[in-house]
Structure 1
Amino acid sequence: MILLTLALIFNVVKIEDVEKEAELFVKNMSIMFIPPGVGIVLYWGLIKSQAVPIFVALIVSFFVTIILTAKFVEFLGGKEG
């Protein structure tokens, strides 16, 4: 979301290109946020006691996803140069 916001601010992405998808997400926000919110409130004690492993897993999985996505796009696009 931060990258999308920056892309919109600096005119890398036009709002018309993402407007349809944004409307879909806004219409269905409750489906996306209420269940995780309830889960966080319900398991807050467990989350708090396991914060370090959770955040390490989040950070590692973020970078692994970025790297694998880049490699997959590179593979699909073929190597140029």
Structure 2
Amino acid sequence: MPLLFGFSGLLVCQFLGELLVKTTHLPVPGPVAGMVIMLVALMIIGRVPDSVRLASEGLLKYLTLLYVPAGVGVMVHFGLIGNNFAAIAATLVVSTIVTQLATLYCLAWMKRRNGQQFQQEEEA
């Protein structure tokens, strides 16, 4: 029964994410919004319920199976990928650099922000 409650919780969060994206027209996939909803709920609760942990660990065991369709897609569209290889490679390189820079700036901003908080706490 705990497994059923865990899967129900995961599916409810995914449904709420899909509903949120459809109603607000957010440019984010519904399951990603559902994960954010689950994260907020777990932060409010302060722990991960055993039922959610059980369902999540069961899903994570088979996570590698989700890569099979992507691998098949690459094999099926190999010619198309080959024709557009330069554009794909450039996009991958540029997006990786942009992601790393965004992460760097976010980390630097958070360190400055937390450093200011720590200084205020020490002064008090």
Residue matched to 2:110: 76
Q: Does 1:30 find its partner at 2:37?
A: no
Paired-residue identity, %: 27
Return 5+ residue gaps in structure 1 as ranges: 1-23
Return 5+ residue gaps in structure 2 as ranges: 1-58, 116-124
Q: Kindly indicate which of the two structures has a greater share of residues assigned to helix.
A: 2
CA-atom RMSD, angstroms?
1.8
Cα deviation digits, residues 7-54 of structure 1 (max 9, x gap): xxxxxxxxxxxxxxxxx75642111x2021011011111000000010
The number of aligned residues is 56
Q: Which has the larger radius of gyration?
A: 2
Residue matched to 1:46: 80
TM-score (norm 1): 0.60
TM-score (norm 2): 0.41
Runs of 4+ displaced beyond 3 Å: 24-27
Supply the distance in 1 between the matched residues of 2:98 and 2:69 (Cα, whole angstroms).
Answer: 26
Residue matched to 1:64: 98
Supply the distance in 1 between the matched residues of 2:68 and 2:95 (Cα, whole angstroms).
Answer: 24
Q: Secondary structure at the match of 1:60?
A: helix
Supply the distance in 1 between the matched residues of 2:60 and 2:90 (Cα, whole angstroms).
Answer: 28
* Higher RCO (Cα < 8 Å, 6 or more apart): 2
